[in-house]
Chains A and B, each alone.
Chain A
């Protein structure tokens, strides 16, 4: 087990290395000039050149890459070209809203989606199944920002139940945090619920056809127990997998949702950084999100063995 985890962790190295090279090259080949952004409208070419030199943008690519990797190994993510603040500080500020919203979304989604999927599979080809499937197809079909706007319009503007925008840390005021986080979470959850409910349904449908489910029924076990004790645990591996790979989807949702609801998270930080060509921030963020993605999927792989005793590493 430990050996397996170690092995998987080592396998992460080439993945992250490739991501690092890819992102670095992508950015350096991108037109756009952080110096020009930094200097504003009235700068002259000579001034731009000076700023570029002082930012180290005139060094050869290899030197820049080496510097960056060197910094990374010392745990230094660099300094934002635009804000002149260490990237790690920026990330530190901005990552908590995202993590809190994402965690809440995942919890909410799983709580909603899994029972939905189970019921849909159990009531295969009945109105309940069709209702769940319709919802999940619909969830895939409406752009996230439209869902966000509709929620705002209905719950914040018409009904005035919830705030329109913003974020309060849960440590500061948990009630406020909740009231502000509900709509973004629901918005984000729509597509995630759709995804998980679909996978739960498909996986359950498959499992419900298995012999041991028939055995459980032959024992006279009640349907609820058949579904949740026997079937769901066996159906869990693909569901977990989709939660892991769906994390990528969550990221793209986060980017949009943070814009719609004005949440100071890393999604907006990254998009802003890309649009401003703030290289150290973009590099750090893409590397970080990739690492989180890889890490989450690693955790999920490990979780398989807890759920399914047949899987041992």
Chain B
């Protein structure tokens, strides 16, 4: 048993994630490829402004819906904008939305979840509110929120984040409630540690691993949700290209110019696929039950 725990719990989970790529080798090709694909996409998106050949917003009526050429690597969209530049810049925004939604929902969910696990009185109220939020279909809530705030980047992130929060809260709360029963937590009580201290020092670190996994899933689903919001006409404005709104604009031309959906769709799917695969891998690595069985 102790031998089985040794390679993983040696480091703090966050540090553990950093060493993930090293351990991925053991898990076979899938996660390795996923990691490489994701790294390439992230770097390509991060450095986009340095190499894109055209302004992704520059409209040129003469070049509407052109096929690939030397001038336009992947052709142009219905406004004569360069598809390649838009897809690359779109990746930047889509990834930002994904990461933004993940970070915001995980941090808010963690805070609320810890409070909920700590204060019994707050717990019942918070959980009722969370139940209600979960009951409202997230996509309808998101459309309504975007309609409320206008289709800005932040309102889209907010719209995607809000429905995710209850899920994070529940996760954190369930970890808190389980770990609260662990003898080492009871020992801490016996040692006279205050409740906030126990929450933060003993309980919170236990949430990091599942939250990391949850975070990757939120990130992936946020990118996807953004695309769906764009499809339904409640996405980010076209002045800010995202994979979602490039596809949403391109869907009118699905049959005459499939590349308008194909390229952003391919990048989006590859990216989400990689994130999900890595999320699964991280979960497998971090889930002690699974580890135990395989030991």
Contacts and interface: CB of A to CB of B under 8 A. Distances in A.
Q: Does A associate with B in a complex?
A: yes
Interface of A: 14-16, 18-19, 22-23, 26-27, 29-32, 130, 133, 137-138, 140-146, 149, 153, 157, 205-206, 209, 245, 248, 251-252, 255-256, 259, 270-271, 274-275, 282, 285-286, 289-291, 293-294
Contacts of A255: 137, 139-140, 232
Interface of B: 30, 128-129, 131-141, 143-145, 147-148, 150, 220-221, 224-225, 227-228, 231-234, 244, 247, 251, 254-255, 261, 265, 268-270, 272-273, 276-277, 280, 289-290, 293
B265 A274 contact: no
A140 B274 CA distance: 11
Nearest to B137: A251
Given A270-B140, A289-B140, A275 B147 contact: yes
B-side binding surface: helix, strand, loop or mixed?
A: helix
B135 A15 contact: yes
12 contacts: A18-B132, A22-B133, A30-B147, A140-B272, A141-B270, A142-B265, A143-B244, A157-B255, A255-B140, A274-B143, A293-B134, A294-B131
Nearest to B150: A31
Nearest to A149: B254
A207 to B, nearest CB: 11
Contacts, number: 135
Contacts of B221: 140
CB-CB nearest 3 A-B residue pairs: A252-B139, A18-B132, A251-B137
A274 B142 CA distance: 11
A256 B228 contact: yes
Contacts of A291: 135
A60 B285 CA distance: 56
Given A142-B265, A255-B140, A137 B289 contact: no
Contacts of B133: 22
B140 A286 contact: yes
Given A143-B227, A271-B143, A274-B143, A22 B247 contact: no
Contacts of B145: 26
Given A141-B272, A142-B265, 13 more contacts: A18-B129, A141-B270, A141-B276, A142-B269, A143-B228, A145-B231, A248-B134, A255-B137, A256-B139, A274-B143, A274-B147, A286-B137, A289-B136
A289 B254 CA distance: 32
B140 A285 contact: yes
B138 A252 contact: yes
Contacts of A157: 255
A238 B288 CA distance: 18
B135 A294 contact: yes
Contact of B247 (A19, A146, A294): A146
B43 to A, nearest CB: 20
Contacts of A274: 140, 143-144, 147
B136 A145 contact: no
A241 B269 CA distance: 27
A211 to B, nearest CB: 13
B270 to A, nearest CB: 8
